[in-house]
Structure 1
């Protein structure tokens, strides 16, 4: 398949080791400013994914991310924030990485090279046609991700691919390709930089808009967040003060009694 491997293209900068620190940082920042513009161009595809995922989510479906290396870690990071931020069980948005949990901290040699492993990992969760699978790979060629996407499609599961190489196998093999062209990396081939940042932005957009669509947000507040520390209890208490006009102590007692901002507001309104 003929496509341009933008993620492997030479940097727009050279002789990096001869740059002073300020020039290095200024150049990285100049490249980073291109990322949001690149993400903006794929909003139509992200919107389609969110709407189709929301339909399935409201029927009990789940969202799965698969990836290797930086891409896998970003999927896990996004998934791990859903329970504390939105109060959903940990198994509604699931991030899987080639090599298993040990690969979150340390690279696992050749873990991404097995095209059958992702489906084995997904089957542990009994993934089915109510669910959605998003593969993440800057290169768009990672066997672990491509294999998982192909197997999911064969089983009637909606698939999407987040990649930084337009026209790559991941893009052409997914139902909803999200092709974010951020251009060459400042450090040639270092996709943890612009490519990784663009993926993080896209995943933020996917799950934040999904949670809004399924009713886990009220106004602009995280009314279903887990009250797992003093900061979050204080935040929840202030939300109730703002919404109901109670004093802080009364709001705190209400939060403790009803267990969440949403429940407290619904009970006392």
Structure 2
């Protein structure tokens, strides 16, 4: 075999390897979006990345939920497990993100409709909607945002709001006439099966006034009743009064002793 053949053969194998074995990665193409939001006219905020595919195997969730219910005595945290699995089983699996009804109302500065009324309007418009296990007030829907804002515009027409500055996002949104005339008549599917059966989806707080307490060293007053409860506040106030009286008596006794000790 000649020297030229020894040089050419590895070169051919190298080319074949590049043709059949190598993988070439190219940057992806993003959808074209305008510089400003078509709803409020403001700039976009970049977020992400997000997982756009389904995050739950619905068959697996359903089977696990059935198994948990059949062995509920074996699970000390059955109520919590059942609540989470029930909520997940009712989510729209192909909708990655969720809306907050309170945030929508906060944008247009209006009173919030009930979740049933809002769900009914979306369902009557021909779209799907469900809750989410992430947030009790969250809603997943395949309705586009222009439909969601049309629902809010129709709601505000029936429940007027105070005039806001013209440059506010809510003012820009409400300045447009709704294309969709929302129907707020209660839809049958506005309540999930679990809600219709009054199955717990989000557990209540373990006790009254549950949550962050006062920071250490802070004096408790009557304004903390809503946080701690009337009985707890009254007990603390009585203890504080007792401590204050004890300190006053101790101070007065010390002053009397000093006065007696003087020549």
TM, length-normalised to structure 1: 0.25
TM, length-normalised to structure 2: 0.25
Question: Which structure's relative contact order is higher, taking Cα pairs within 8 Å and 6+ residues apart?
Answer: 1
Could you say which structure has the higher strand fraction?
A: 1
Higher CA-based Rg: 2
